[in-house]
Structure 1
Amino acid sequence: MLMRTLAGKLTLLWALLSALLLVSAGMLAAFSRGSLLFPALLALSWGAALCVGYLASRRLTALLAPLAAELGPAESAADAPLPCDELSRLAGAVRSHLARLARAQAELHQVSAILDSLPVPIFYRDLAGRYLGVNRAYESYLGRERAALIGRSVFEVFPPEIAKIYYRADRELQLVGGVQQYENRIVHADGSSREVIFYKASFLDRTGELAGVVGTLLDITDRKRMEALLAEQKEFSENLVQNLAVPAFVLNQRHEVIIWNRACEELTGLAADQVIGTRRQWSGFNLEENPTPADLVLDGDYREADNRYNPLWFRSTLIPGGMHGEGWGRNRYGLDGYLLFSSAPVKNGSGEVIAAIQTVEEITARKRSEDRLRTLSLAVEQSPSIVVITDTAGTIEYVNRKFVEVTGYSSAEAVGQNPRLLKSGSTPDELYQELWGAVTSGQEWRGEFQNKKKNGELYRELAMVAPILDDRGVISHFIALKEDVTERRALEEALRHAQKMESLGTLTGGVAHDFNNILTAIIGYANLIQMNSGEGDLNAKFSAQVVASAEKAAVLTRGLLAYSKNQAMHPSHLDLNDIAQRVDRLLSRVLGEGITVSTTLAPEPLRLFADSAHLEQVLMNLAVNARDAMPGGGTLTIRTEELQLEADFVRQHGYGRRGRFALLSVSDTGVGLDQATRERIFEPFFTTHGLGGRPGLGLSIVHGIVEQHKGFIEVESAPGQGSSFRIYLPLTQPVVPRLVQAAPQSAGGGKTVLLVEDNPEVRAIVGEVLRGEKYQVLEAGDSEEGLRRFARFSGEVNLLLVDVIMPGKGGLDLYREIRMLDPRVRALFMSGYSEEYIRSQGMFTKEVNFISKPLTPSDLLSRVRDVLDAA
């Protein structure tokens, strides 16, 4: 107030002085310097001015005295006014105040410079909300100069709705005090707005009175935008996981479930609120607690997966730190399901794993389908049949292991090729056309090929080819199921041949049996004629010729029996090399000139249990056949060796058995045999010599003898390439034969023989021969009659001489019944069949006395004496 009063008075005085000076100046100007009044007027003017100045100084002194007192004493003695000199004292006070003011201004300037150097916007306002000051950062941030802000209120700077908020916040701070923080917008000079956080505090003046508020602000627009974006992303991520069709859950770093989506709820039957916040993520998939792949991903413990769960769980090759797994699980309802797991880490900006997400897919139906498909695939791959799949053009797309094994072509060699690579040229083209027409029309085809392997070997295939239809019923592929039937066909052929030979053997055996009965009568009666004829009697000569012819016929029947394996065999332990050497010495006379014999024997003895005469007959028959096959001469090779036959041989040839065998080979360089001849070569009476030649029993006899020795024979031959017969005979260990002393012969007088024979001629001649040696003979035509005759003469019969095979009851059954009546009775069995054949039919289960027909009187009587003497 004082300052305003003083200012007013000074203004007034200054105005008066000015006016006075101006008036004096005017007056003086009106007179020229040469005027006589000019000095007087000049003196008068200065006098008036001095008078007025004095009066004014006295008035100013009165007015400045209080001001001097208010400003305080001078700061130094030099500044002290003279006594009673108010103006001097005032001037000193003013100078001192101005000095303090200058220092304050310097300090204020320093503070202002500091504030301006800060990058943070700063402002301060008075209690009315008017700006007292701002720093440069605030100017720059707001886009307004300082001069446009200072002294103006917030209502003059910002929009009303914003200004009201600022004003209310300032008033609240003035009332409450302390520090204030809040978020709001701030509008820039260009009208744009930003999100900020205000930090404000109230300040006091020197007297301690509230003077206003000072504040700063932090622009959080980008942060708010980022937070909004992050919140949006989080919401999007959560919604994404929640709305996934695949069951999924998320674990935090503490292995707690933070997301459990709806699909996971549906799969496990566990609601999200049952598992979120817990560590029971395993409970949806297992009855017992086990770590999930997400747990292992969080821990980074891949060794646990490798050691405990491998190979069902494995690290991901696509997601760093991720893991995949699969396996059977059981939910809380006890239902099994096959689950497919995938887990991946969730990382923050610094690469730290902060969570893990896991998806779970139930693929039980697919797994079972895959297992069925895998089983089917393995079954096809490991099938014992050949499997070939082609496209509709016939290009091979798949072959199984059996195809590779049989054909010799690898899968890589076959795929992409046409099945024609197996063609041998032996299958008619019409058959392929028939096949293709059937399968392209949607039908299956069955047939047989003769194909060729990679190594050129031919083989027979039984094939079934059918189209494969897609879901629309359109042919997409063809499938061929094939079987190598080469061995089967060989076995079938061998079986057919064996059955044919068996049938022929049965026929020839039956013929020989009946023929032997006839020969027995012929030989017997011829011998009786000889015995009852005198020396030089023509009857004796004629009967001798009859006997000779009958003996030739007997040789023929023995051949038939040999073929039918019914010939009597007398085996012993022998060395095959010895047989070969004996025959070799005879062959030079049999074969004649022009044929060279080469014999190679095994270095070690080849021990057989065989009939020596039969084996010699085998060699002789083969040698004679070889001679006939070499009319112009050649080489006959005989070789013996030891072989160990294995299962491969049996499988390949369709006959034989495993074990140690002696191999007897007879080869020639003759004309050879075609296939048709080879197929019939062992049939009886089959001959290549035409009518008038040999009867064709040579090789059939060989075949019968070999089989009787439990061996087998094979032939290899082709036209112009000679023939080779290979005979396999089982080896045995040598046995030292026992020496048996011959029993002394005794006459038959007084002995009674019961003769039972269904053939009347045989019965008659045998009876005559026995009676000629003083035997009592009781005859019967069949077993029933024989049993009655025995019962009638019970206790008198010493020997039962009986035919083995008769209509009705056979001789063996008759003997059993008689033994029940009298166990002392001996029996001698006779038959047109060999003993081996009788035994093969199961008629003889133990040793019996046996004699083969045709019977000669001497052989019969000798055998009867032997049996009776043994009793």
Structure 2
Amino acid sequence: MKTEELEKENQRLREQIRLLEEKLREKNSPRPSQHQQEDAAAPSSASEDELSRANSELQQHINERANELERINAELNNSRLAALNMMQDAVEAKSIAEKLNASLTSEIAERKQFEEALSQSEERFRSLFEDNLAVMLMIDASNGRILDVNKAAVEFYGWKKEEMLSKTVFDLNTLSAEELMEDLRKVAANSKYHIDYKHRRADGSVRDVEVFASRLKVQNEYLIHEIIVDVTERKRIQRINMLQHNIAVAVASSETVSELLEIILSEAKTMINTENFFFAAYNEETGMLRDIYGQDQMDSIEEWSAEKSLTGYLLAHGIPLFLTRQDILQLEEAGDVEVVGTMPELWLGVPMISGKNKKGAVVVQSYDAPDAFDAFALEVLEIVAHELLLFIEKNHAQELAFKLTKAIEQSPVSIIITDRSGRIEYINPFFTQTTGYTFEEVKGKYPRILQSGETSPVLYHELWDTILSGNTWQGEFLNRKKSGELFWENAIISPVVNSRGEIINFFAIKEDITGQKQMVEELIAAKDKAEQMSRLKSSFLANMSHELRTPLIAILGFSEILMDESRDDYSREMSEMIHKGGIRLLETLNLILNLSAIEANKLDIKKEIVDSHAVLEDVVQLFSAMAAKKNLTLQRQFNARYSRLLTDKQIFSQIFNNLINNAIKFTSGGGVTVKTENTGSGLSVSVIDTGIGISEEDQQIIWEEFRQVSEGYNRNFEGTGLGLTITRKFVTKLGGDISVKSQLNNGTVFTVTFPLWEEGVHQSILPYTEHEDHQTPVIFESASELPVILMVEDDINAVNLVTMITKEIYIVDHARTSDEALQKAGSKNYDIIFMDINLGKGGSGVEVTKKLRQIPSYKDTPIVALTAFALMGDREEFLAAGCTHYLSKPFNRNQLLSLLKEISEGKV
């Protein structure tokens, strides 16, 4: 209680005591009689006991108040003493306060200076934190909440500052919250730490970081200040260097590709996902890829075609490819690839190419994770591919070196290696076997120890000039062995150069050709004899062709006329037999001559653009009468849309002459069909008959020379057995293919295929027109209008035949010799000239033709080479000499009339 309050309470009690004492005195003092008072004041009176009790109560009350007053006085005294003490203390306090005030004034001034310094310090710290190029974070140690970040952190992580302040370090770190919280507790306890983490960024990427953290205490709370250093590139380089080192060690220690790949995969799988990995080797000859080493969750494919495959697409482009599922689908839609096996979500491949050689590829793929690989994975795969390629090339080089070493040591020719001056450094065992000299005997010496003195010094000068200029020299020496025996050597000597192009050695391969020299001399003699025999054979064949064809003119020509003009059946039948025998003889002669030309490689192919349908129509027309005579149908089914070929028209016609002739010959009922179809970029021509057929075992021998299905004395059909042999050779020469399908007694199908003319593949088929009858002659109104033919011919039978066939449409004049022909041509202009080539004495038909072409009036006159020279190449030779047309002897009415019609229409 305060002093003022105690004083007031003391006064109040004193006043109450005074009043009580007065009441007590009044009670004890003499008073008027009670009865008087009661009579005067009140109608009633009190007893003595009641007064006594009241007095006691009053006395008690006074005592209580006195006691209370005494207590108050005591407390008041104490308060006064305290007040005095306080007053004394106040005086002292005032003095102290004055001193303290002076001190506080000074302290406030100092504090103000301190606060200003602190503000400047905080500003410097804020600038140091905010503008620092290092990434910095302030973190609450108790919960990992990010309290502050600097500009570098915002730039590094990619989030806005407000976004980062709403995150925790658990959002950044790839560690679990428990692991990371344990690290925070450690730094809170130990004041600092240094540790490596992986941090996420706004773009989803994960970076390797090095964290330097220190503990700060602010207002009794612990904060953590972190400096973040991006070490992704450093880590990448370290990991790549380690990978390269480990793989290089593996390359040095591994013996096989599989062994190396096992080590490589064990290293690579620590960096990238290799669950679906394969190394495919490429075979450039076959175009196939083969899985040398691989592991795959979905597929197991050992070999596949590079064409249209992803790996083949990779090798074709020659650069690493990073393909998503969408990329692959686009390539597939464009027709660039066809996926082999299961479609991956992500496909990463690196080609292995050495120079221009495609060795293969290494590939990783993921079937379920579209973000399984990144640029680092590509870099790892490139290292794997590079080291693997080096290993393969190293092994190949070692194998090649081993093979070369063995080849040199075991070579059946002499190998010599010298230094640049020619001193011998190495010889192989065969050198010793050939010359008799051991390595010890020739080491450091010059190869001149083998010289015999029979070789010209000029040759040695040429040798050294050649090899010292960096070129290879080849020639022959006549050398001498250790035993003194002479022997011939064929030598090839080449310089060996280093990486700077400097010659450091010479390498010589020397072969003992003594036996060959003897053989060559024998071969030259044999060749001369063979060439002489070949000339004799060619001359014989040409003479035989001429001598056999010449009499056949009369046999075939006049028998044909007799058939037409005979009035009785017997004469007509005899004429037909003569004509048939002549035709058979002519066919046999043509087959033998054709086979001889093919075997002598004298078949002259003259390719031109040919409409195959037109040629086939001519052949069908040619055999229509033959088919009709046997009551057979001869049909054509030209289904091919494209029919142009780049081929030899004459040989093409001969092929189907043979096939249709055979089909009619071996068919007794039904008919023959000639059918064309387009197959891809080719033309297929089938000759289909309903004849006797060919058994399966006989289908191989029909292509052999002089072989027939029916052979021996009891054979059922005529012929030499050369028709199909020659046909097959003709087809091969024209770049085609022929096949046969047949069953005995059930007909035969011969199919010939040719490649279409490339431009013709893209052109429509030529419009087909029916061929007119070639036998239709040109009719003139009177003999005076008939054109005149000069027939230069020494065979009167040929002249008579032509005269009889053309008697109604041409006048035939005759010259037997070259001089007579030139004389007549000079005195008269002829419309056509028929020129025999072999005119006996005097000039040949070729010479006469050349002279006629020098006469202005005969510059454009049709000149027909009408000759028995019918070997391959004869026609072309005569046309080149100036003739416009060619007709071989013997010929029939239709052939002659067709030729004349062609001339009259101006066709060449």
- TM-score w.r.t. the length of structure 1 is 0.36
- Higher radius of gyration, 1 or 2: 1
